[in-house]
Amino acid sequence: MHVVVGATGGTGTALVKELLARGEKVRAVSRGGDSAIPGAEAVAADASDAGRMREVCAGATAVYNCVNPPFQQWRSTFPEVIRSLVAAAGSTGAVLAFADDTWMYGTVDGPMTEDTPVRPVTDLGVLRAWLAELTMAAHHRGAAQVVIARGGELYGPAVESVLGQNLFGRAVAGRRPIWFGNPDLPITPTYIGDFAAGLATVAADPQAWGQVWHVPHTAPTTGREFAATLAGQLGQPARLTAVSETMVTPLKLISTVAKFGAALLYQFDQPFVVDGSRYLARYPGSAATSYVDGISQTVAWYRENRARIRTSMMPK
């Protein structure tokens, strides 16, 4: 039994599908219990409720932390979720796999590896560093088996990120797509299916536990090149609005996402390249989805879910 907690978000949905494709038995856990993926058992539960998590994780082989609360709830919710899932996984002898990001590395001038020093430069980066440390410390003290997978900025079906509605949503709606930060710097966007596959792979490998792994990526691109590929698939001009931190500042007064997200824009004003070579050395048969294919699948999802798309408040 593989228990995916946070199963209705972008990462959780992709992971449920990946595990089912591997022939695994999957329990999809969310607050509303409204996962509608055929073949998965949908369960309603609050991830911060330790007692309830012990119940839904009973008998599990692996427990996946794909929880992603709104920015304003990170400080109050995330620590309790970590403690709850560590206790639940430990009680049943399951590995706890944590879907993580790269915000704890702070400012860098080259590719980020698993050995990149943890030097966060924002409050949210400090929080992410502490959450990862809290998770890994559980492994080292024997409270639970733990493994962490990290990727770059995510994109793909159902993904809410800087590359989500601001880029894909606006482009599919016929509006000028927005890129936060410098669009001419190298970046390795992570397709959500690749992130899910990497998380499932390290969770299934006991030799990978107790470590952090960067999932594999394709060669670096730039925001401008990425957006041009998107425009080409939509038959639109290769146009792009680049938004600096200064331009975002006024939006902090009216947008919660802008208020918290602006603190992370430094990542897009430096090289944002995630090095997954260590993962590829251990799992040499792995391959990352090309930007052409990843963008195509993302566009298809946005077209199918056009009614759910909310375009950014940024001007046309």
- Residues 161, 13 share a domain: no
List the domain range (segments joined by +) for residue 177.
Answer: 157-188+219-274+286-308
Residue tagged 């298809």 (tokens): 300
Tell whether 46 and 86 lie within a shared domain: yes
pLDDT of residue 210: 98
- The CATH code of the domain that includes 131 is 3.40.50.720
- Both 131 and 172 in a single domain? no
- The SS3 call for residue 231 is helix
**pLDDT for position 118:** 96
Looking at the fold, whether 93 and 170 belong to one and the same domain comes out as no
Query: In one letter, which amino acid is 91?
Result: S
pLDDT, position 266: 83
The total of structural domains in the chain comes to 2
Same domain for 13 and 97? yes
Residues 54 and 172 placed together within one structural domain of the fold: no
Residue 316 lies in a domain: no
CATH of residue 172's domain is: 3.90.25
Q: What percent of the chain has pLDDT over 90?
A: 78
In a domain, 314, yes or no: no
Cα(119)–Cα(266) distance, integer angstroms: 13
DSSP-H helix ranges across the chain: 10-21, 50-56, 74-92, 123-140, 170-172, 192-203, 223-234, 245-248, 256-261, 277-282, 291-304
Residue 248 has a pLDDT of 60
Pairing of strands 186-187, 221-222: antiparallel
* Spatial distance between the Cα atoms of 262 and 254, rounded to a whole number of angstroms: 13
Residue-level pLDDT at 253:
46
The model carries a pTM of 0.93
- Cα-to-chain-centroid distance, residue 251: 24
Residues of the chain with pLDDT under 50: 252-255, 312-316
Q: What would the two tokens of residue 268 be?
A: 């897009």
- Do 140 and 253 share a domain, yes or no? no
Listed in sequence order, the residues at least 6 apart from 44 whose beta carbon sits closer than 8 Å to its beta carbon are 29, 30, 31, 32, 33, 34
| Same-domain pairing of 251 and 290 | yes
SS3 262: helix
pLDDT digits (tens, 9 = 90+) for 270-316: 999 999 999 999 999 898 999 999 999 999 999 998 766 655 444 44
Q: Which helix (H) or strand (E) holds 243?
A: strand 241-243
pLDDT at 265: 81
Specify the 3-state DSSP secondary structure of 28. Answer: strand
β-pair partners for 149: 99, 213
CA distance 153 to 114: 16
In this structure, is residue 281 part of a structural domain? no
- C-beta of residue 152 within 8 angstroms of C-beta of residue 102: yes
DSSP annotation string for 165-184? IIIIIHHHTTS--EEES-TT
Q: Is residue 171 part of a domain?
A: yes
Q: What is the pLDDT of residue 161?
A: 87
Q: Are strands 62-65 and 41-44 parallel, antiparallel or unpaired?
A: unpaired
Indicate whether 179 and 74 sit together in one domain. Answer: no
Residues near 17 by beta carbon (within 8 Å), at least 6 away in sequence: 37, 196
Rounded Cα–Cα distance for residues 177 and 242 (Å):
9
- In terms of domains, do 243 and 123 share one? no
CB burial string 286-308: b at 16+ within 10 A, e below: eebbebeebbebbbebbeeeeee
- The rounded distance, in Å, linking the Cα atoms of 84 and 261 is 26
Phi, psi of 97 (to 5 degrees): -105, 125
Residue at token pair 């792995």:
286
